Amino acid sequence: MAKILLVEDHRITQRILTHTLTKHQHTCVLANNGVEALEKVAAQDFDLALVDIAMPLMDGITFLRELRSGAFQSNLPVIMLSASGQEGDKVVAQELGVKMFLSKPVSTWELSSNVERVLNG
């Protein structure tokens, strides 16, 4: 179905999210931080990116700013994930055009239904 870039540094969370998405027939490409994610976006096209906010080397907000700068697939739909739920992060993410902001831990139902909503809409 869709090719999804999963930008997440926590291995267990990567496995859970990948399992949920592949169960719904999506292909996942993993990146451990924003730097790796930008490299992957430069090399291939994606239908959606799921991006954690807190990561080493380059956080999710910085990745999103770089993505939207025009040097990359700047119209890529993005769903942000955060364990902190800080309001400031949500505001900045929305200003940068994220489609959705989900708080971790996210249930498999919430993840899959929101991914489908963004992909279809």
Q: pLDDT per residue over 74-116, tens digit each?
A: 789 999 998 775 667 778 888 888 999 898 888 999 999 999 9
Token readout for 119 is 């992909």
Q: Indicate the pLDDT class of residue 38, thresholds 50, 70 and 90.
A: very high
Q: Average pLDDT of 48-73?
A: 88
Are 82 and 38 within 8 A, CB to CB?
A: no
* Model confidence at 72: pLDDT above 80: no
Q: What is the predicted pLDDT for the residue at 85?
A: 59
Looking at the structure of the chain, the number of domains it has is: 1
Q: Average pLDDT of 47-71?
A: 90
Could you tell me the pTM of the whole model?
0.91
By residue range, what is the domain housing residue 101? 3-119
Q: What is the predicted pLDDT for the residue at 93?
A: 80
DSSP labels, the chain: --EEEEE---HHHHHHHHHHHHHTT-EEEEESSHHHHHHHHHHS--SEEEEESS-SSS-HHHHHHHHTTTTS-TT--EEEEESS--HHHHHHHHHTT-SEEEESS--HHHHHHHHHHHHT-
